[in-house]
Amino acid sequence: MSTPTVLDRAADGAAGAAAGLRITPTWSLGSRRAMRLVERNGRVYFRMWVIFVSGFFEPLFYLLSISVGISKLAGPVAGPGGHLISYTAFVAPALMAVSSMNGAVMDATFGVFFKLKFAKVYDAVLATPMDSGDVALGEISWAVLRGGIYSCVFLVVMAGMGLVHSPWAALAVPVSLLEGFGFAAVAMATATYMRSWQDFDFVTLALMPMFLFSGTFYPLSVYPSGLRELVLATPLYQGVAVIRGLDLGSPTWSMAGHCLYLLVMSVAGLMVASRRLERLILK
């Protein structure tokens, strides 16, 4: 019996690795095939750029209205660390987090539902070597890209208005991408359970209270104790707290907890979305 050579061992190791890749869920690894769907969405939106750009303006209009009006009436408020800052400086980073949320949720709900129920895009996609994990990862990646673009442009607007107060603000961009990933993953998983366009009223019902009560416009100190605990548990608050702290130059270790929350949210949403797509399309 011959002793295995180095080449034999290497071949056995490669075969074992290939077998592991075949049985490992796609969502846990990521697949380059998913980027084909991102490319497809980019080509589609290139012809509908007005729709793509329109989602950026809602938080921008809020910021402009606050800077020219409400900020003059509100006076200074306590920011992270207890330092007094202008009301506009307090709200601006939170609206950057809202931009990321809006961009991610828009595509991961309305876009996914239309492709799944009406255009039947995923039926055609799954006739290729792509699988349900690729579809979920590709759509979520596109939604994150859209939310990230909104956030980056919003940060540039903030810089132009003198609302970037620290070099730490550069880290707000990757945080907004993580936040967008979490919202996109959960939104896509939710879209797979929707039966008609009327179900999107529930999406609005979930997003509007988060937009208003996740520390976006008011510091936590103004909320009653019971409502304060509820605000602390909302996904948007996690992004608002981190981005505001970074923009105002007050990083803390608690930000790691907020990022961990968003990471768990992202993984859980991606898993559910992948399995639901497989069940709906391949049944």
The pLDDT tens digits for 30-71 are 467 888 899 988 888 888 777 777 777 878 888 888 888 787
- Higher per-residue pLDDT: 238 or 132: 238
State the pLDDT at residue 52. Answer: 72
Give the tens place of pLDDT for each residue, 65-91: 888 878 777 878 888 877 788 999 999
Instruction: Delimit the domains of the chain by residue range.
Output: 27-281
* pLDDT higher than 90, residue 280: no
pLDDT at 245: 94
pTM for this predicted structure: 0.84
Burial 144-161 (b: 16+ CB within 10 A, else e): bbbbbbbbbebbebbeee
What is the rounded average pLDDT for all residues in the chain?
Answer: 84
Q: What mean pLDDT is predicted for residues 265-269?
A: 95
Distance CA 24, CA 31 (A): 11
Q: pLDDT tens digits, residue range 184-198?
A: 999 999 999 999 999
**Three-state SS for 262?**
helix
With a pLDDT cut of 90, the percent of the chain lying above it is 48
